[in-house]
Amino acid sequence: MKIIECRDISKMYFRQKALEQLTFSIEENKITGLIGRNGAGKTTLLKLISGFIKPTAGEIKVFSEQPFNNLFVSANSILVDDSMSFPAALNLGDIMDAAAAFYSNWHQPLAEGLLDYFSLEKYKYHNRLSKGQTSTFNMIIGLASRCPLTLFDEPTIGMDAAVRKDFYRALLKDYLAFPRTIVLSSHHLEEIEHLLEDVLLIKNGQCLLHLPIYDVKEMMISVEGKLAIADQVLQEKEIIYEQSIGTNHVHRVLLREEASVEELQGAERMGLKIRPVNASDACVYLTDKGKGVIDDVFNKN
């Protein structure tokens, strides 16, 4: 069953395109990573899915219904981000009680356990929490509400490394105990790739790829070595990314399908280093803005 279906959705903000003709669908009970550079449209997409905003064009269906102004979609989904709004008059315990009333799958033991583990006291107020604590608390609300569709938008903002690690583990454990559809947007693909089944990569408001994480890991290879040899071996091959190392060494990235196994073995014999490219770097190369590398900015001056 398809939980989210988007067909040609576009969203304009004051004549500026945030999303452009995005088409994809997400299956039930999968953890999908929503990956993209800053300003690619990740947050806009998640807000469309939760029915906070309306698409300018195209059709979006969540649980086979339009999400905007839809009680059914609202009851079955939750969007967790750092700007979740809670009344200033309620302390953390009160907020949890409210969430328990609204979300019928709410699991109080989990919420209390996590709250205790992350040393957040019930009598504290949400607006007095630090950035990392706010993210942690919001994450607890998101996990414990056990919504059939759980959306996390940059959930780890401000969390320290230990808490981030714990969060991913908690997410995975609770997902296994209570499978549901999860969309997780993040800049740190290398941190979440062990959780993900699928990756949805967007660039400039468009869907660049939607593949299982395994395929993304296998997608590219990097070649490193002397410039002359690299030029000789890689001629007529499409280079995705290139970086010079010193004056006569070079680092190039290409799609694995561009080169055959024999060619690669030959290249290695000639002294080039061939390495797989991890999923995180692959996504960075794919979403490259075509302005070269950061070094170029400094080389000009």
Partner 1 sequence: MMSLIKTDLVKVLKMQYLFKFKANIDVFSSLIGIQLLAVLFSFGGFYHSTHGWGMVINLQQYSANIVICFTFIWALITAITITTKPYRHYDFTFVTNRLSSSLSNILFLLTVSVLGSITAMLSSNLIKFIVYMFLDDSIVLFKQPFFDFFTGMITTSLYTFLFCSIGYLVGAFIQYHKGFSVVIPVLFMGLLIFDGMTMNSTTITGFTEFYIKESNPFYFLLKTILMSSLVLTAAISIFNHLEVER
Residue closer to partner 1, measured from CB, 88 or 245: 88
Q: How far is the CB of 194 from partner 1 (least distance, A)?
A: 23
Q: Are 143 and 176 in contact (CB under 8 A)?
A: no
Which range of residues in 30-38, 175-183, 258-266, 272-280 is near partner 1 by CB under 8 A? 175-183
Beta carbons within 8 Å of 109's beta carbon, 6+ residues apart? none
Q: Read off φ and ψ for residue 298, nearest 5 degrees.
A: -80, -30
Exposed / middle / buried, residue 249 (Cβ in 10 Å: 0-12, 13-18, 19+): middle
Residues 197-256 that bind partner 1 (CB under 8 A): none
Among 8, 25, 102, 271, binds partner 1 (CB under 8 A): 102
Residue 84 as a binder of partner 1 (CB under 8 A): the answer is yes
Residue 12 as a binder of partner 1 (CB under 8 A): the answer is no
Q: Are 139 and 131 in contact (CB under 8 A)?
A: no
Residue 90 as a binder of partner 1 (CB under 8 A): the answer is yes
Residue 172 as a binder of partner 1 (CB under 8 A): the answer is no
- Report the distance separating Cα 231 and Cα 225, nearest Å: 10
Comparing C-alpha atoms, which of 13, 53, 25 is closest to residue 207? 25
Number of chain residues interacting with partner 1 (CB under 8 A): 36
Q: Read off φ and ψ for residue 79, nearest 5 degrees.
A: -110, 120
**Beta carbons within 10 angstroms of residue 296's beta carbon:** 10
Eight-state DSSP code of residue 258: G
Residue 176 as a binder of partner 1 (CB under 8 A): the answer is no
Beta carbons within 8 Å of 14's beta carbon, 6+ residues apart? none
Residues 104-123 that bind partner 1 (CB under 8 A): 104-105
Residue closer to partner 1, measured from CB, 104 or 248: 104
Which range of residues in 90-98, 163-171, 205-213, 259-267 is near partner 1 by CB under 8 A? 90-98
Q: Are 58 and 22 in contact (CB under 8 A)?
A: yes
Q: How far is the CB of 6 from partner 1 (least distance, A)?
A: 17
Q: How far is the CB of 254 from partner 1 (least distance, A)?
A: 41
Site map 272..301 versus partner 1, x via CB under 8 A: ------------------------------
Which range of residues in 15-23, 66-74, 164-172, 265-273 is near partner 1 by CB under 8 A? 66-74
Q: Are 9 and 59 in contact (CB under 8 A)?
A: yes
Exposed / middle / buried, residue 88 (Cβ in 10 Å: 0-12, 13-18, 19+): exposed
Eight-state DSSP code of residue 232: H
Which range of residues in 73-81, 158-166, 237-245, 254-262 is near partner 1 by CB under 8 A? 73-81
The footprint of partner 1 (CB under 8 A) covers 1, 28-29, 47, 51-54, 63, 69-72, 74-76, 81, 83-87, 89-90, 94, 98-99, 101-105, 148, 178-180
